[in-house]
Structure 1
Amino acid sequence: MHQLDIVLPCYNPTEDWHIAVVEQFKRLKPHIPDDITIQLFIVNDGSVKNWNEDKLNYIRHHIPDAHLVSYAINRGKGYALRYGVAQCNGDYIIYTDIDFPYTTASMSSVFHALKLGADIVAGNRAKDYYDQMPKTRIYISKFLKRIIKLLLGLRFTDTQCGLKGFNQQGKSLFLSTTINRYLFDLEFIFQASKREDIKMIPVAVELRNDIVFSRMNLKILISESLNFIKILFKRNA
């Protein structure tokens, strides 16, 4: 029997995050073949609110074999995902955000692309995705896509989509990334694009209608600009 591992990073989630996780996990299960075991990994990235035993027990009750791991200091989404992925043994691994922002059909599409032989599957957000975004995020996202195409020459310009999957070969590459915060996605896709032995494909994905975006942190934007420069240096090395 094959196994699918789903990894969710978690940092200061909303009050009812635990209820949403259980609901979305149960919605996904019927879309995955019966011969595939699904394991859930949630990584607490040093949250200081809304991570407590009552919420964890709720998840344990509804998803008894869920893996709930935690560390005290916030390290960033990239670090949290590497921490969780390192503990996965599944044939296939999918990561997304704690609120399961993408539709069940989108997650199912990523899984089936992996099952058909892709090493890495990168979600590619539809144009109407931007209709649901705050203006600041729209400008940043579109600017980053143009810069990626211009300076890095990547075919996959939607590197920041928060839904990706990979097999064990893709896992090894993912664990070799070093960026701890948001641009780990770009680093991962950039490294994969240089490997002729890696089969990486895009899959169209859509957001759920009820998703609310958080505000962008200026300090993180500045630090990520430095990480982007590091990736540029790797390109020219």
Structure 2
Amino acid sequence: MSHPHLSIVIPAYNEANRIGNTLSLILKCIEARRWDAELLVVDDGSTDRTASIVEAWMDRYPRLHLIKNLSNRGKGYSVRNGVLQAAGDVVMFTDADLSAPMIEAERLIAALDAGVDVAIGSRWLERSRQTVQQPLYRQIFGRCFNYVTRVVTGLSFKDTQCGFKAFKRDAAQVIFRLQTIERWGFDPELLFIASKLGYRITEVPVTWGHDDRSRISYLRDGAKMLEEMAIIRFNAAAGRYSRAIAAMRDTSNLVTAPSRPIERSKRPAIAQ
């Protein structure tokens, strides 16, 4: 099987109640738009039937793959695990709740085709695209976190946290290998690394609807995200990213083949 043009990565933790519907919607979109695409679900140590549901769908769709983390590691780790195993020329990730409809991927792909290396979905560039808005307290938290992120990292994006991002393959292979944060704060780190490497990044307005089943805790996870912003700042000040980038350049690994599969279920490694 030849390698696909598009790889779609979905991190999933205890998503048995909605993963079937998510797969149905994405696969219907792939078929309707005639995308040359593969779909990778990364099960982050789920304790429910998430993995078995995905495996049942795999029997019908040869380009649907399940990757299993050995334990619960976090969304950042799961996205990284999936992206580094993806075979597509374009690699993107989306949340299992599909708050951004899958058809919106065309907007990200168009931005990459126009010449950028990284395209990130944004809920805030065009607020009229928000079909279901977040509760006020979540909006306030999100805006406060975005402000802190701008101050700490120097990034200028209005929405670093939208779980809808796409990368050219070569850029993804570099950026995600340098990622160190495994949980909620991984998005700003990816953008910080991409910016430091000189990759072209654009923010793309996307249609988005809030799902009130989100598991993020604004007290516990909010504190952790702020801690992770401090980690990014410390890593940068200590030269950790610069040393890692230099080491990759010295070994000619900045752009090459995908990493070796880590933990894949049932099917052999994706055809390269």
Global fold match (TM > 0.5): yes
- Matching residue of 2:21: 19
**If the length of structure 2 is used for normalisation, what is the TM-score?**
0.77
Give the counterpart of 2:114 among 113, 116, 133. Answer: 116
**If the length of structure 1 is used for normalisation, what is the TM-score?**
0.87
- Matching residue of 1:66: 64
The more displaced of 163-172 and 20-29 is: 20-29
- Matching residue of 1:84: 82
Q: Quick check: 2:29–2:103 contact (8 Å CA) kept in 1?
A: no
Q: Deviations over 1:160-188 (max 9, x none)?
A: 11100001222111231110001100001
- Separation in structure 2 between the aligned mates of residue 56 and residue 168 of structure 1, nearest angstrom: 25
Q: CA deviation at 1:108?
A: 1.2
Structure 1 residues 52, 76: CA separation in 2 closer, same or farther (over 3 Å shift)? closer
Query: Per the alignment, in what secondary structure is the counterpart of residue 178 of structure 2?
Result: coil
Matches for 1:2-81 after TM superposition, within 5 Å:
3-31=5-33, 34=34, 37-53=36-52, 55-81=53-79
Q: Quick check: 2:69–2:78 contact (8 Å CA) kept in 1?
A: no
Identical pairs, percent: 29
Q: Quick check: 2:37–2:63 contact (8 Å CA) kept in 1?
A: no
- Matching residue of 1:150: 151
Q: CA deviation at 1:30?
A: 3.0
Note the residue ranges of structure 2 that are not aligned, 5 or more in a row. 239-272
Query: Per the alignment, in what secondary structure is the counterpart of residue 220 of structure 2?
Result: helix
- Separation in structure 2 between the aligned mates of residue 162 and residue 16 of structure 1, nearest angstrom: 17
What amino acid does structure 2 have at the position aligned with 1:155?
S
Q: Quick check: 2:16–2:50 contact (8 Å CA) kept in 1?
A: no
What amino acid does structure 2 have at the position aligned with 1:114?
L
- Separation in structure 2 between the aligned mates of residue 92 and residue 65 of structure 1, nearest angstrom: 15
Q: Deviations over 1:180-217 (max 9, x none)?
A: 00110000111112233x121111111147x3342432
Q: Deviations over 1:34-66 (max 9, x none)?
A: 5x520110000011123252x124422442321
What amino acid does structure 2 have at the position aligned with 1:195?
L
Q: Quick check: 1:156–1:202 contact (8 Å CA) kept in 2?
A: yes
- Separation in structure 2 between the aligned mates of residue 83 and residue 45 of structure 1, nearest angstrom: 10
Structure 1 residues 68, 52: CA separation in 2 closer, same or farther (over 3 Å shift)? closer
Give the counterpart of 1:192 among 194, 203, 222. Answer: 194
Paired residues, number: 231
CA RMSD of aligned residues (A): 2.2
Q: Quick check: 1:21–1:99 contact (8 Å CA) kept in 2?
A: no
What amino acid does structure 2 have at the position aligned with 1:118?
V
Note the residue ranges of structure 1 that are not aligned, 5 or more in a row. none
Q: Quick check: 2:75–2:184 contact (8 Å CA) kept in 1?
A: yes
Q: CA deviation at 1:121?
A: 0.7
Structure 1 residues 74, 56: CA separation in 2 closer, same or farther (over 3 Å shift)? same
Structure 1 residues 19, 132: CA separation in 2 closer, same or farther (over 3 Å shift)? same
- Separation in structure 2 between the aligned mates of residue 135 and residue 219 of structure 1, nearest angstrom: 19
Query: Per the alignment, in what secondary structure is the counterpart of residue 13 of structure 1?
Result: coil
